[in-house]
Amino acid sequence: MCALMTSYSRFERLMDRTEVWRNPYLSYQDICRMAGVSPASLDEMLLAELGMDGEQILQKYRAAS
């Protein structure tokens, strides 16, 4: 679980600080690869914590810009 939390933190940094979501060519799978986590594992954590999967979160970031 600790490794997944680290990957979750990396995902958060990539989205909030690095703002990788601004690149329309990057998919959720690409961002997970950058964070070092499988999309399925991260989705499970995101659904539990935020009630949305990673693809939904990515689309929400992009829609808000």
What are the pLDDT digits (tens) for 8-64? 899 999 999 999 999 999 999 999 999 999 999 999 999 998 999 999 999 999 999
- Domain range spanning residue 52? 2-64
pLDDT band (50, 70, 90) for residue 1: low
Q: What local confidence, expressed as pLDDT, does residue 7 receive?
A: 84
Residue 7 identity (one-letter amino acid): S
Q: Cα 35 vs. chain centroid, distance in angstroms? A: 8
Q: What local confidence, expressed as pLDDT, does residue 25 receive?
A: 97
The pTM of this model reads 0.88
Q: How many domains does the chain have?
A: 1
